[in-house]
Each structure stands twice: as structure tokens, then as C-alpha cells.
A and B are shown apart, each in its own frame.
Chain A
Amino acid sequence: MESGAALCPQCGALQPCDPSLSLFAILGLAEGFVIDPAALRSAALERLRAVHPDRFAQADGRTQRQSLEWTTRLNEAQAVLSDPLRRGDYLFSRHFGQSALGEEMGSLRDPEVLMRQMERREALEEAAAVRDQVALERLRAEAHAEEKQIEEQLAASFTAPEAGRIAPLLQEWQYLRKFLAEIDQYEERWDFA
């Protein structure tokens, strides 16, 4: 079956989901770092409409299982490809056989980047200690701005992929994500206290 067609073009019956299809192929999208979010969304919605378990609520067990597999896979594709960090790492693993964020790749070594992260963390702890919501917002905005920069650098790097250039960018982005999650956690803790 080509391009991940879920339904038989002749009879409209649900076909088994081929696990070897890439997340791009399953959505019928060209493989690459730069993606049009609107095209991704409409591709996913169109396919989800065809295979979603709601369409097969009355079907036999086998068809229901296939529908579940397809929908699960489409959800995964949408989740991974709509997030530029996860999309980048997925592409990295397609090129180089493993994730840039796993233990095997080691961690960030660039002292300049590490220093920036440390300063950032100190600023967060200071703001958190006095519950400075304004400072928290500023740190969040700065981290978002850096995410944008990394995204642009990645887009350029993926035109001629080199593991040594791409992995540190993905790793730095991962740091930023953890940092942003920590900001959220502080806010949540204050909220629920």
C-alpha cells in the first residue's frame, strides 16, 4: 500500500496499519524540517476522519483494533511533527539512526551554552524565592525567543545535515524546554498551595 492510504480505494474497508511507514509518510507529507502547520493539521484531520474509532463503533473487533492502531499512529505523527523540537529529533534519528537527546549522544559540552543555562536557572530560583511573577514572565519570554533562534538555525542545518552541528542545537533546545517546564511547575505549585 502506498502513501499510507488507510482505506481500500475500491471497497472503502479499513486496511492494516503499516508500522514501517514514517511519520511523514503516514500523513502524506514531504520529509523535511520546515513544515506548514496548517497543511499538517488538515492532513491529520482528513486522515483521522477516515480511521477514527468513532467511525467503527459498531464494527467487528479486528476492524476496531486496526482503527485504534491507525488513530494512535496519526496522533503520534501529529504530536511529533507539530513540535519543532520533536520533529527535529525525529528527523535526526531518521538520518543518523538514533535520537540526539538519548544517553548515547552525551550531553551539551559547549561552555558558553552551559554558562547561559546556569545563569538562567539562578535567575529563576531568585524570582521563585520571592514569587516574582513579572520576572517569571520575562524569563519565559526570553526562553521562547531563544527557541525561535534555534528553530531557524535548525532549519538551515537540515539542508545539509551533519550530526555534529544538529545534535547540540537539539540538546540546547531540550534544556530550554526543561527550563520552561520548571517555570510552569512553580506557577502551578503557587496556584495549588
Chain B
Amino acid sequence: MALLQIAEPGQSTAPHEHRLAVGIDLGTTHSLVATIRSAQPVVVRDSEGRYLLPSVVQYRADGTVRVGEEARAEAAADPHNTIASVKRLMGRGAEELQTLAGALPYRVLAGEGMVRLQTAQGEKTPVEVSAEILRVLRQRAEESLGGELTGAVITVPAYFDDAQRQATKDAARLAGINVLRLLAEPTAAAVAYGLDKGAEGLFAIYDLGGGTFDLSLLRLQKGVFEVLATAGDAALGGDDMDRLIAEQILAHFAEQGDSSPAWHRQVLLAARAIKERLSSLEEASVELVLPGGKAVQWHLRREQLESWIEPVIRRSFAPCRRALRDAHIRPEEIDGVVLVGGATRVPLLRRLVAELFGREPLCDIDPDQVVALGAAIQADALVGNQSDDLLLMDVLPLSLGLETMGGLVEKIIPRNTPIPVAKAQEFTTFKDGQTAMSIHVLQGEREKVEDNRSLARFSLRGIPPMVAGAARIRVTFQVDADGLLAVSAEESSTGVRAEVQVKPSYGLDDAAITRMLREAIAHGKEDIEQRRLAEARVEGERVREALDSALAQDGSLLQPDERARIDAARAELLHALGSDSAAAIEHAAGAVEKAAEVLVERRMNQAVRKAMAGHSIDEWSEK
């Protein structure tokens, strides 16, 4: 391999080291990880061959955490501690949860800032829950690739705002992942299509995931992926279809059902199952166990299902038209429509999207995999494994603005501006001798402050005292390639650098992240301690059993004092096995083995004698 490598100009001439990089699709219902193998993007599977990891985390009362299939199986039985669809909560505040469609079965703690959930293991933020999912994917990747990851590209809905992106990045940090880039999901899908299928021209990527909807318009041209406009709905997804179906089931069984979270969970799972079955069948049924214990079949025809879910699909069309308007593109100019996300398997959706854009959508690449595959391609490029030039140019999905007089928002960077982007704005003081001022940063398209997302409030201090209006404070807003905002400020007339204190409205500050990291590491130590204890117990038990059977057979070979020493060591071991100390068990087991050496030796001699009985030494030595 190394012999075939030729250094490109401008690249390192050192022998090319292949770095392990992955793409992670952290989804509402499923998550997965992909990488590049033999120049091909592939999904990474677990030991049982599965690649979709259900995005479900269960915090068990015994202190263990289950993630994925095992956690999902417990969802109905343990609804308060089993967190599903956590992506919908990322970067959000408790007061926003009412506006998120549907009731959540979790115990949400009241309070300002980021949502916190009460679980059997205490308070958990969505960032911590997501970190558990990412940790499993990281482990899966490292086991499969046989080494430590250099970094990962993590995908986010294009329409995620700053707080949601920051929360995603924080979750990765908590999971010990080096984030190379946050990549918009539709852009990732476009990369997979552009490179694998050789797509060129103007493309619409229609991405309906479990809980988010994105529509991105891209120009694809020989390795250049340029987002022209993006629009979406961060609270619209396949889950909404499931919920509408579930409402119908609940209404149907209103008399036999109850309001328990377990029954609701069961109905929701049944709703999803029947939606999936009706994607290929004209009619289907699911079995439900009523709260009374009676099992029933619930039957549904595709037509009926379609009439229920059509409103969800129609809701996605307004953002589609908005993106077309923003990019100044007519539907007929589009060269192709790509479908992404499991929810786009619904036949009605394919029909309606085809009508909207006037062409049959593409779905050659598995809609569940395409985002992770595209992210893997970019990750590989970012760590320098590829020499072909890939250029991804994305946009800011939602306008950034500042609060002005009267609770209104003044836009400073409009939506669909290519990123990275920076904008400087001048502010002045309105009172004589004013030395501080506070600034409120918002994201969204609405006019009033309360209708937009509050990103951060910060204060500028250390402004030199001057008459009102004389100070010139230049505040710079910089959005980086991940779509994340940073703010800095300077007093222009004196050059004094004003101090900026950003208080994220829904994010975690650095102190909180550090604390969580510390806890995660401490928890990691606990895990190791637990494993050592379990192993010591198994070994201790093995030693005890071996001793007992040896004593039962050949105890007569021992002198009384030898026997007493062994019995004492055995009693020590039994005592240690009852404790929680791995070290004590290991020590006692070692003592038993030492005390029993004499027995082992005598048994060996006896066995040899038995084997040799009736034979002469010469006979043996000739063999």
C-alpha cells in the first residue's frame, strides 16, 4: 500500500498515514455511523450485523445505561426513564416543550435554560442523553476499525439553529469525539449522490426524518456542493405521522384503553409498525394488548392511513416553496429531487413530492444510510485521506438578529447567507458616562423578540466613560463553517476591547460541560471497577469450586494441620466473595491457591502413580 503512494504537491511528503474518520448521523429515531473502506463509503455494523441504532437511552435504577434496541424494548415498561426522540429536545427550553407536538412521557423539570429530565439516575440534559448514543457509535466504530478515531463529522438538520447545533457539538465532546465538522443532513446526502451517482446540476434534497424536515437546494458541479437555499421545520417529521395514527388508535380503543404511559407507548409503536407495513402493503394489521390484558387485532387500509397523514406531508411544502423563492429558482429548473430519511418511504409522500417538483424523486441510495455515507466521505476528506478536491459551501439557515427598541428584532445576517460569514455592527451609548451595555442575540424570521429563538444575552463592560453617543462599540458576529456563532466587541474610538460575556439561553456553559466530562470520566472508572469486581467473583468462585471437589475426592491425602490451613484460607475466600472488593477477592483466592499447593502436588503424584501402576519405569522412558 505504502509503495503505491505518491505525494501530491502541497501535501505532506511523509508516508501517508491512514487516519480513522467516521460520519455520524445522529437521528431522531435512529442513529448510525459510516466510514470509508477500500475507497467506498459503508455503514458500520455491530457484532450482530445491525447498523441502525435506535436513538433510545434507558437510565436504569441499578446505575447502568442501556442504549439502542435493548433500551427501546424497555420503553413501554419504563417510560419515565427511557428517553426516545431526544433530538427534538436538543437546545430547547422547558417552556418550549408545549409547542413541540405531542405529550412527552418524561418528567421534565421546570426552570430556565436547557431542558432537564428527571430519571432514575438523576437529572439528565438532552446533551447527556445524546452523548450516550454517540458513545455507543464511537465504540462500535473503534471496534470495527481497530483503532482510535481521529475525528468525526456529525450531521445536523440544515434547519437546526445555533443552540441546537451547539448542543450537538457539546454532546460529541461529552462522548469523547473530536468533531471535525457539523454538516447539514441534506448537504451530506447531496455529497453521497454527487460522488457516488455522479449527480450534477441543480438538486432539491427533500429530507423528512423522524422529527425534523429539511429542504435544501444545491448546485452540484465536479466536487463543488453549493447550497443555494435551505428551509425546513425543526419540529416536523415521521414521528408526527405516527402520532396522528396513534391518536386514531387511542380514539378507537377509548373505552378499553387508559391514560398510562405504557399503553400510549404501545400504541405509538403499533402506529409506527403499521405505517411501515402499509408502505409496501395495501392493508395490514397489528396486535395490541389492551390494558385489561386482552389481545386484539387492529386493521387498517392504506387509503385510510393516507388521509390521516397527508396534512403532515403538506406541511412540508411551504418550506419547499420558500427555499425556491429564496434561491430564485423555478421548480422546472431543478435537475433532480433526492429523498432522504426513513419517512420518505411512504408511497403517498413520493407521489406528492413528485407532483410538487414535476418529476419523479430519486431514492437509489438507501434513505436511512445516505446521510451517514455522505458524512463519512467528508470526514475522510477532512482528515486528509483523500486528495480529490471536495468543496462544500453551506448557508446560514435562519436569520441572526439583535433586539432593538420596543421588543423588535433587527436582522444583521439574513438567512441563506453562505457561511462562514461575519458582520460588524456599531452601537453607541445613550447616557453620559455609560460604561456597560447589554445585547440580546436572536435567531429567526419573525419581527418580535418573543417569536424568535433567544440565542444569548451578553453584556459589554469596560466602555470608557464618554458623553452619550460618543462611544463607538463595534460588535462582530462571526458564523463559522459549522454554522456556530461567536461574538466579539471593541470600542472603536479608543480601541478598548470591550469584554463580552455570553450567556447562552439554552446551551451549556463551559463549566457545565467540564462538570459533565468529569462525571463521565469518573463513571468510566466506576465501570472499570465494576468489571474487575465481576471478574474477581467469577475467578474466586472457580477456585472455591475446584478446591471443594479436590477436597471431596482426595481430602484424605492431607495431614490435619495442612487441612486446617486450607480450611482457614477457604473461609477467608468465602468472606471476601461476600464483599464488594475485587482486591480482597483476588487476594483471598491467591491465598487459597497457595495453601492448596500441597494438595495439588499430592494429587498429581497419586495420579502419576495410578497411571504407572503395572508398568516399569523403562517402559515409560522409551516412549
Contacts and interface: CB of A to CB of B under 8 A. Distances in A.
Interface stretch (B417-425, B448-456, B490-498): B417-425
Interface of A is mostly: helix
Interface string A149-177: 00000000000000000000000000000
Contact of A68 (B181, B318, B420): B420
Contact of A54 (B151, B381, B421): B381
B391 A57 contact: no
B389 interface: yes
Contact of B391 (A45, A188, A191): A45
B180 interface: yes
Given A72-B420, A75-B421, A187 B481 contact: no
Contacts, number: 65
Interface in A48-105: 48-49, 52-54, 57-58, 68, 71-72, 75-76, 78-79
Contact of B481 (A45, A71, A76, A192): A71
| Interface core residue of B321, B382, B417, B418 (most chain A CB under 10 Å) | B418
A12 B10 contact: yes
Given A53-B480, A53-B481, A72-B422, A58 B382 contact: yes
Interface string B150-190: 11000000000000000000000000000011000000000
Contacts of A58: 150-151, 382-384
Interface residues of B, number: 32
Nearest to B480: A68
A184 interface: yes
B408 interface: no
Given A54-B382, A57-B151, A57-B180, A49 B420 contact: no
B363 interface: no
A71 B420 contact: yes
| Interface core residue of A7, A57, A184, A187 (most chain B CB under 10 Å) | A57
Interface in A19-71: 45, 48-49, 52-54, 57-58, 68, 71
Contacts of B420: 53, 68, 71-72, 75
A53 B419 CA distance: 11
A147 to B, nearest CB: 12
B391 A192 contact: no
| Interface core residue of B180, B224, B481 (most chain A CB under 10 Å) | B481
Interface of A: 7, 12, 45, 48-49, 52-54, 57-58, 68, 71-72, 75-76, 78-79, 184, 187-188, 191-192
Interface of B: 9-10, 150-151, 180-181, 224, 317-318, 321-322, 325-326, 378, 381-384, 389-393, 417-422, 478, 480-481
